[in-house]
Amino acid sequence: MECLRGDRRLFRDVSFSVSPGTLLQVTGPNGCGKTSLLRIICGLTTPESGKIKWQGAEIRSLAEEYSRSIIYIGHRIAVKEELNSLENLRISGGLSGCEHSHDQARQALARVGLAGREYLPARFLSEGQRRRSALARLINCSAVLWILDEVMASLDHAAVSLVESLISEHLSAGGMAIVATHQELHISAGSFHRLELKPPVSGGNASLGSPS
Amino acid sequence: MFRWIVVRDLMLAWRRRADVLSTLFFFVIVASLFPLGIGPETQLLRSIAPGVVWVAALLASMLSLGRMFQGDEQDGTLEQMLLTPQPLYLVVLGKVLAQWLVSEVPLVLIAPLLGVQFGLGSDTLLILFVSLLIGSPILSLIGSIGAALTLGLRGGGVLIALLILPLYIPVLIFGAGAVDASINGVSSQANLYLLGAFLVVSLVFAPWATSAALRISLE
- Check CB contact of B74 with chain A, cutoff 8 Å: yes
pLDDT for residue A212: 32
List of chain B residues whose C-beta atoms are within 8 Å of the C-beta of residue A121: 15
pLDDT for position A83? 93
Q: What is the pLDDT of residue B85?
A: 87
**Number of independent structural domains in chain A:** 1
Q: Residue A205: its pLDDT value, please?
A: 39
User: Residue B68: how many CB atoms within 10 A of its CB?
Assistant: 25
Q: Which residues of B touch A94 (CB under 8 A)?
A: 1, 3-4
Question: Hey, what amino acid is at A17?
Answer: S
What value does the mean pLDDT of chain B take? 93
Alpha helices in B119-188 (DSSP H): 122-149, 156-183
- Name the DSSP letter for residue A138: G
Nearest CA in chain A to B7: A91
Residue B77 confidence (pLDDT) = 92
Q: Which domain holds residue A13?
A: 3-208
Question: DSSP 3-state assignment of A150?
Answer: coil
- Rounded to the nearest angstrom, the minimum Cα separation between A90 and chain B is 9
The single-letter code of the amino acid at A124 is F
Tens of pLDDT along A69-109? Answer: 999 999 899 999 999 999 999 999 888 878 889 999 999 99
**Which of A48, A96, A148 should be substituted to probe chain B, the one whose Cβ sees the most B Cβ atoms within 10 Å?**
A96
Q: What is the pLDDT of residues B76-87, one digit of tens each?
A: 999 999 998 888
CB–CB of B75 and A92 under 8 A?
no
| Cβ neighbours of B7 in A, within 8 Å | 91
Of B5, B11, B16, the CB nearest to A95: B5
Give the pLDDT confidence score for residue A201 in this predicted structure. Answer: 66
**Interchain pair B83, A44: CB under 8 A:** yes
Q: What percent of chain B lies above the pLDDT cut of 70? A: 100
How high is the pLDDT of residue B42? 87
pTM: 0.90
CATH label of the domain that carries residue A100: 3.40.50.300
Average pLDDT along chain A, 212 residues, taken 10 residues at a time = 86 90 92 91 91 91 89 91 92 86 93 92 92 92 92 89 93 94 87 87 42 34
Nearest residue to A151 via CA among A96, A73, A89, A35:
A73
* Binary contact (B80, A65; C-beta < 8 A): no
Q: H or E stretch including B28? A: helix B17-38
**Does any CB of chain A come closer than 8 Å to the CB of residue B87?**
yes
C-alpha closest to that of B32 among B56, B51, B50: B56
Residue % of chain B over a pLDDT of 90: 78
